[in-house]
Amino acid sequence: MPHKLKKHATKKRAKKTVSLSKFRKLVVPRPDVLHGYLRHDEINLYLEYLQNRYSFVTVHTLGQSYERRALKAIEIDWNSEKNMDRIERHRTRRTYMDKTGTAPPPPPPSTNRVQSTFHSRNMIFIEGGTHAREWITIAVALNCIYQLTEKHIRNYELLRKLRFIIVPVTNPDGYEYTFTKNRRWRKNRRPISHTRHIGTDCNRNYDFHWEDGPSKVTRNTYKGVKPFSEPETRAIRNILQKNKQHLLFFLSLHSYAECIMYPWAYCKELPETWQKLEKLALTGRNAIKAYNGRHYRVGSIAILSKRRISGSIVDYAFGVIQVPLALVMELPSHTLGFQPPAESISPIGHESWLGIREMCKVAYDLVPPCLYPAETLLSNTATTKDQTAQLQRANMKITKQHPTSTIDKQPFYDAALPLINNDVLKNTQVPVKC
Q: Are 254 and 261 spatial neighbours (Cβ–Cβ below 8 Å)?
A: no
Q: Does 67 participate in catalysis according to the annotation? A: no
DSSP for 369-387, written as a single string: ----HHHHHHHHT--SHHH
Neighbours of 115 (CB within 10 A): 7
Element (H, E) at 297: strand 297-300
Q: How far apart are alpha carbons 277 and 283 in whole angstroms? A: 10
The stretches of 340-372 forming alpha helices (DSSP H) are 342-366
One of 75, 176, 232, 330 is an active-site residue; which one?
330
Q: How far apart are alpha carbons 288 and 146 in whole angstroms? A: 19
Neighbours of 205 (CB within 10 A): 29
Q: Is the link from the previous residue into 333 a cis peptide, with omega within 30 of 0?
A: yes
DSSP for 123-185, written as a single string: EEEEE--SSTT-HHHHHHHHHHHHHHHTTTTTTHHHHHH-EEEEES-S-HHHHHHHHHT-TT-
Identity of residue 344 = S
What are the catalytic residues? 330
